[in-house]
Structure 1
Amino acid sequence: MPLDSTLRLLLLSALWGASFLFMRIVAPELGAFSTAFLRVLLGALGLIVILATIGVRWNFQGKGLTALLIGMVNSGIPFAMFCIAAQYLPAGYSAMFNATTPLLGVMIGAGFFHEAMTRDRLIGVSLGLIGVTVLVQTGPVAMDHQLLIGALACLIAAGCYGLAGFLVRRWVTQRGGLDTRLLAVGSQIGATLLLAPLMLLEAGSRPTLAAWWNADIWWAMLALGLACTSLAYLLYFRLLQDLGPVKPLTVTMLVPPFGVLWGALFLGERVTSAHVSGGLLIALALWIILFKAPQPHLR
């Protein structure tokens, strides 16, 4: 991999790992839906400014509504779910749950999109689920209903990411394609439209609005929306352009270590053997699914 692509990959991993840190800071104060809404709103505004600056033509080729719908699945619901989880789970936990996206993608593909379930994929999914179980049952967070709510929210988010990949292929790629930068900004606008009413309901029901005047919260919010969303999307799509569709998926393995690292450095989150053992099992599962040579399918 060229040095410049390697540096972009590491920066992208650090940014997406940091997103769990910032959600952990903001969501308990502003609320899950308000945090998710502001993230996609800032992400959309940042992308609009960047695309206008570099002179990208706004031609959605009749796929504008499709981009909005994909954004609701690929950004709106997952960001809201991760913000719900951020109210209960350490940032490192959520980052590691996020790594299950390819595992759930394999299961969704086999169940609903006629994708072949190979022996290696089945082994990978099994190892990944064992890794999640190790993290939940032996990690530093007590096993209670709050942990289960947070874990379920993360898995719903990862499942949406997995589903979105198939929707993009069916609704966009197989119908002539679309400039990925337009798809990125269209998806953030779609997510903003989905989350706006939920944000308004949540903001009206919270007992105090003091957090909205907290400068530290807004610095974290700006970092989440502009750096971890706008800039991160541009880095990711540049990697897709330079390296093709497979190698950038390495980011899935690199985000959890960064998520755990930022949580430990800035929030004082404990790192235990459960992080190591569960993380290694998930990493092995991802390697088997993403990079091991394909084998004959089971059906």
Structure 2
Amino acid sequence: MSRRSLFLLLVLSATWGASYLFIDLSLRGLSAPVVVFGRLAIGAAVLCVLARARHRRPFAALRGDWPRIALFALFEMVLPYLLIAFGQSRIATGTASLLVSTQMLWLVLLTPLMVRGARVRAVQLAGVGVGLVGVAALVQPFGAGGAPDPLGAVLVTLAAASYAIGSLLLGLLLPGRPTLPVTAAGQAVAAVLVAPVAAVGLPRAMPSAGTFGALAVLGVACTAGGFLLFNVLITRAGAGTASLVAYLAPVFSLAYGALVLHEPFTVPAAAGLVLIVAGTALTVSRRRRAVQPNTEPAPAAVRVGSTSTTR
């Protein structure tokens, strides 16, 4: 890996790791649905502008694909963003980031159910087991951030499963579509889907400037910027190098939680981190036959062994 690629990997990991910090800061003045709508609307606006700058008619190739894009956006953006926002209001940011990183474990379990002919090796199933032990270390009474809220942990874990489903739907429903337009369209559709729920949860009092600033950073840097960095890294260093973000982003998130939010970093939290990273490493080990990769519109995986997530 070149120094430039290593730098991009670290910047991307730091950016995605910061998502949970800025979600937490946004939730201090806004409801979960409003935070989700805000980050989607901001991210979609930024990506649409960039898509128009790069492509003369960025959405022309997507004619007839809008129902598929809506289904993909539901599982890759709407459901996980809402579940994470609701769940993170109950658990520590570091715990949330580690639970979301289990999406690779879910991908291993769900791929054979959704992709015809896909098989999972025993070593990858072992990785799922190791990762689940790590989850247990996090959510037991002395885990990261103190005694966790079981509902919060369940919601964030379901978000990881939703990310895995969305990743698989991308490869099944939208093969070969241009990356930037699909992501911009997906985030725009997701914002529309979330808008009615967000309208019900509008704040009664004007939030602080800090709350709006956190939401702006979440939308511009963590949502739109993270996607762009991810694809630049894939172009420069390949998907294998880019997949390392799955290991590094939770480390940054835990650090942000400890340094900025003063969340405790306990021994079980460290154990959970090591076990989830080890389990993920096993799930992305090389296999003889994998689901054919596809152009990703957000850090999304279409095969067992690649990284996934629209942060």
**Normalising by the residue count of structure 2, what TM-score does the alignment of the two structures yield?**
0.86
CA RMSD of aligned residues (A): 1.9
Query: In the superposition, relative to structure 1, how do residues 296 and 227 fare at CA in structure 2: closer, same or farther (>3 Å)?
Result: closer
- Please report how far the alpha carbon of residue 51 of structure 1 lies from its aligned counterpart in structure 2 after TM superposition: 2.4
- Please report how far the alpha carbon of residue 28 of structure 1 lies from its aligned counterpart in structure 2 after TM superposition: 4.0
Residue 120 of structure 2: SS of its match in structure 1? coil
Query: In the superposition, relative to structure 1, how do residues 57 and 246 fare at CA in structure 2: closer, same or farther (>3 Å)?
Result: farther
Match of 1:9 in 2: 9
Equivalent of 1:90 in 78, 86, 92: 92
Match of 1:37 in 2: 37
Match of 1:182 in 2: 181
Query: In the superposition, relative to structure 1, how do residues 44 and 19 fare at CA in structure 2: closer, same or farther (>3 Å)?
Result: same
Question: CA–CA distance in 2 between the matches of 1:80 and 1:49?
Answer: 25
Residue 214 (structure 2) pairs with residue 214 (structure 1): no
The answer to whether the 8 Å contact 1:120/1:294 transfers is no
Question: CA–CA distance in 1 between the matches of 2:229 and 2:93?
Answer: 22
Structure 1: give runs of 5+ residues left out of the alignment. none
Residue 42 (structure 2) pairs with residue 60 (structure 1): no
The answer to whether the 8 Å contact 1:37/1:192 transfers is yes
Is the helix fraction higher in 1 or 2? Answer: 1
1:1-299 alignment, distance < 5 Å: 1-55=1-55, 57-58=57-58, 59-62=60-63, 63-114=65-116, 115-137=118-140, 138-143=142-147, 147-173=149-175, 177-203=176-202, 209-210=204-205, 212-290=206-284, 292-294=285-287
Query: In the superposition, relative to structure 1, how do residues 141 and 213 fare at CA in structure 2: closer, same or farther (>3 Å)?
Result: closer
- Please report how far the alpha carbon of residue 196 of structure 1 lies from its aligned counterpart in structure 2 after TM superposition: 0.5
Query: In the superposition, relative to structure 1, how do residues 96 and 12 fare at CA in structure 2: closer, same or farther (>3 Å)?
Result: same
- Percent identity of paired positions between Structure 1 and Structure 2: 27
- Please report how far the alpha carbon of residue 141 of structure 1 lies from its aligned counterpart in structure 2 after TM superposition: 4.1
Residue 260 of structure 2: SS of its match in structure 1? helix
Question: CA–CA distance in 2 between the matches of 1:213 and 1:284?
Answer: 41
Structure 2: give runs of 5+ residues left out of the alignment. 291-311
- Please report how far the alpha carbon of residue 109 of structure 1 lies from its aligned counterpart in structure 2 after TM superposition: 1.1
- What amino acid maps onto 2:200 in structure 1? L
- Please report how far the alpha carbon of residue 54 of structure 1 lies from its aligned counterpart in structure 2 after TM superposition: 3.8
Question: CA–CA distance in 2 between the matches of 1:296 and 1:55?
Answer: 35
Query: In the superposition, relative to structure 1, how do residues 56 and 71 fare at CA in structure 2: closer, same or farther (>3 Å)?
Result: farther
Residue 287 of structure 2: SS of its match in structure 1? coil
The answer to whether the 8 Å contact 2:145/2:265 transfers is no
Match of 2:294 in 1: none
Alignment length (residue pairs): 286
- Please report how far the alpha carbon of residue 38 of structure 1 lies from its aligned counterpart in structure 2 after TM superposition: 0.5
The answer to whether the 8 Å contact 2:43/2:223 transfers is yes
The answer to whether the 8 Å contact 2:138/2:269 transfers is yes
Question: CA–CA distance in 2 between the matches of 1:56 and 1:122?
Answer: 45
**Normalising by the residue count of structure 1, what TM-score does the alignment of the two structures yield?**
0.90
**Per-residue displacement from partner, 1:191-240 (whole Å, max 9, x unpaired)?**
1011101101222xxxx522x33101011000000000111111112223
The answer to whether the 8 Å contact 1:181/1:237 transfers is no
- Please report how far the alpha carbon of residue 29 of structure 1 lies from its aligned counterpart in structure 2 after TM superposition: 2.5
- Please report how far the alpha carbon of residue 64 of structure 1 lies from its aligned counterpart in structure 2 after TM superposition: 3.6
Query: In the superposition, relative to structure 1, how do residues 296 and 244 fare at CA in structure 2: closer, same or farther (>3 Å)?
Result: closer
Query: In the superposition, relative to structure 1, how do residues 197 and 128 fare at CA in structure 2: closer, same or farther (>3 Å)?
Result: same
- Please report how far the alpha carbon of residue 245 of structure 1 lies from its aligned counterpart in structure 2 after TM superposition: 3.1
Once structures 1 and 2 are overlaid, which stretch shifts more, 1-10 or 272-281? 1-10
- Please report how far the alpha carbon of residue 10 of structure 1 lies from its aligned counterpart in structure 2 after TM superposition: 1.1
- Please report how far the alpha carbon of residue 80 of structure 1 lies from its aligned counterpart in structure 2 after TM superposition: 0.8
Question: CA–CA distance in 1 between the matches of 2:81 and 2:289?
Answer: 36
- Please report how far the alpha carbon of residue 89 of structure 1 lies from its aligned counterpart in structure 2 after TM superposition: 1.1
- What amino acid maps onto 1:139 in structure 2? G
Residue 246 of structure 1: SS of its match in structure 2? helix
The answer to whether the 8 Å contact 1:70/1:187 transfers is yes
